[in-house]
Chain A
Amino acid sequence: GQSLEQPSEVTAVEGAIVQINCTYQTSGFYGLSWYQQHDGGAPTFLSYNALDGLEETGRFSSFLSRSDSYGYLLLQELQMKDSASYFCAVEDDRDDKIIFGKGTRLHILP
C-alpha cells in the first residue's frame, strides 16, 4: 500500500521555528513536495525535493532523505499568517499522479 504520515497538529510561537515531519511508504517515488492551505482556500505549492538534502526558499526550507523515506518542512521566523494546514505529497514515478498526506494543522500563538 501507499501511505504518508505527518502529525495532525503542531503548535508554535510567533517568531519561533517549527518543523513538520513526513514519512512515506510508496511503491514509486520521484520526489516529495509540500503544499500550504489556509482555511477556506486552495492548496498552493511551497517546495519540491527530488534529491537528498535541504532546499531553501526564503523563510521556508524542505529536507529529503530518500534512504529513510523521510522529509520535513522547516518554517523560520513564524508569522501569524503562517497559520494554515501543510500537506506533504509524493510524486509517483509509475504514473502521472501525486499522493497527499492528511495534512498538519499549524497553530501559531502570539
Chain B
Amino acid sequence: NAGVTQTPKFQVLKTGQSMTLQCAQDMNHNSMYWYRQDPGMGLRLIYYSASEGTTDKGEVPNGYNVSRLNKREFSLRLESAAPSQTSVYFCASSKTDPGSNIQYFGAGTRLSVL
C-alpha cells in the first residue's frame, strides 16, 4: 500500500534548467495538491486539482505549471528554475469530502537550484 509516491527524492538544478516532479497516489482520491515548504514558512500551496481534468492556482503559483494526467497522477513542472525555487516540495492527496479534508503526503522532493 504505497499511498502517495513522489519522484525524485532529491534534485540539483542549475538556474534556467527545467524539470518535472512526479506524484502518484493509489488511494483513489479525487483531489491532489502541490506544496512547497521553506524554513519558518510552513506549507504553501502552489497548485491543486479538485478532480481529474481541473487545476487551480494556490498561494504561490508563479514559475510553476501542473498537469493532472489522470486520477492517479499530478505533476509539477518548473520551466526555468530559479534559486528562489530551492525548497522541499510535497505532493498530497485527499478525498473530495467536505468537512473532513484529510491530506496524505508523499515523502517530499528536496530541490536545490544553483
Q: Which A residues lie at the B interface, using CB under 8 A?
A: 8, 30-31, 33, 35, 41-45, 48, 50, 87, 91, 93, 95-103
Contacts and interface: CB of A to CB of B under 8 A. Distances in A.
B31 interface: yes
B43 A87 contact: yes
Given A87-B43, A101-B42, A43 B90 contact: yes
Contact of A98 (B96, B101, B104): B101
Contacts of A42: 90, 105-108
B108 A33 contact: no
Q: Is the interface of B mostly helix, strand, loop or mixed?
A: loop
Contact of B103 (A41, A45, A50, A95): A45
8 interchain residue pairs of minimum CB distance = A102-B42, A42-B105, A96-B50, A100-B43, A91-B101, A100-B42, A45-B102, A103-B42
Contacts of A8: 40
Contacts of B40: 8, 102
B48 interface: yes
25 contacts: A30-B101, A31-B99, A31-B101, A42-B106, A42-B107, A43-B90, A44-B105, A45-B104, A50-B100, A91-B98, A91-B101, A93-B98, A96-B31, A96-B50, A96-B94, A96-B96, A96-B98, A96-B101, A97-B101, A99-B45, A100-B42, A102-B40, A102-B41, A102-B42, A103-B42
B28 to A, nearest CB: 16
Contacts of B74: none
Nearest to B30: A96
Interface string B26-62: 0000010101000011111100101000001010000
